[in-house]
Structure 1
Amino acid sequence: MYTVIFLQEGVGSLMSMLPFLAIIVVFYFFMIRPQMNRQKKEKAFQSEIKKGAKVVTSSGIHGKIAEINDTENTVTVETGAGKIKFERSAISMELTNKKLAPAKK
């Protein structure tokens, strides 16, 4: 008799936790996992930037890559106003004629 009561309480607490666990699983597959994929793509895009590519920075500045410094992880962008040094992570998309590849955030 006591065993049945304890078993029913265990099943009841498991059933009350089921919606909470389902929310965590849905949150992972719809929020966390896609964000991780976007970050991987953005990192790959930023590492593949080449000299001469037309780009747009995250602040909206359009220009052409004039120089890449791998040791400092910076790029020099040539704009209409002159040359500006940016962190590589500030480049948000490439605007070459071959492809328009936005880095989704």
Structure 2
Amino acid sequence: MQQILPIILIFVVMFVFMILPQQRRMKKEKEFENALKVGDKIVTKSGIHGKIAELAETTIVIETMAGKLKMERSAISMEMSAKLNAPETK
């Protein structure tokens, strides 16, 4: 029993500090993707700024200064879009 206890403890610590936070983050990102609507200002993970013009099941069309781009919903950065839409504080 004393030999197995440290191994079990390692797995519990890994689960608590690595797997649970990742699952929470994935859940938040999925909720963010589902809450998107036409007209929202977004930033993609590659840094492209735009406004949502059309929504589909897994894709979106965004309007940029260069024109319209079609991309996957998962390409939208939740953090950068939140910063873009957050009210500025001085």
TM-score range, shorter chain: 0.7 to 0.9
Aligned length: 84
Task: Report the identity percentage.
Answer: 54
Question: What letter is aligned with 2:85?
Answer: T
Deviation per residue, 1:57-91 (Å, 9 max, x gap): 11111111111123xx1110111110000111111
**1:97–1:31 Cα change, 3 Å:** closer
1:83 to 47, 68, 86: 68
Equivalent in the alignment of 1:48 = 35
Deviation per residue, 1:17-68 (Å, 9 max, x gap): 1111100000000000110010000000001011111101111111111111
Counterparts of 1:47 and 1:25 in 2: how far apart (Å)? Answer: 32
Counterparts of 2:54 and 2:85 in 1: how far apart (Å)? Answer: 16
Equivalent in the alignment of 1:11 = none
Displacement after TM superposition at 1:97 (Å): 4.7
Equivalent in the alignment of 1:96 = 85
Map 1:11-30; keep pairs closer than 5 Å. Answer: 14-30=1-17
Equivalent in the alignment of 1:37 = 24
CA RMSD of aligned residues (A): 1.5
Gaps of 5+ in 1: 1-13, 99-105
Larger strand proportion of the pair: 1
Counterparts of 1:17 and 1:37 in 2: how far apart (Å)? Answer: 29
Equivalent in the alignment of 1:7 = none
Bigger radius of gyration, 1 or 2? 1
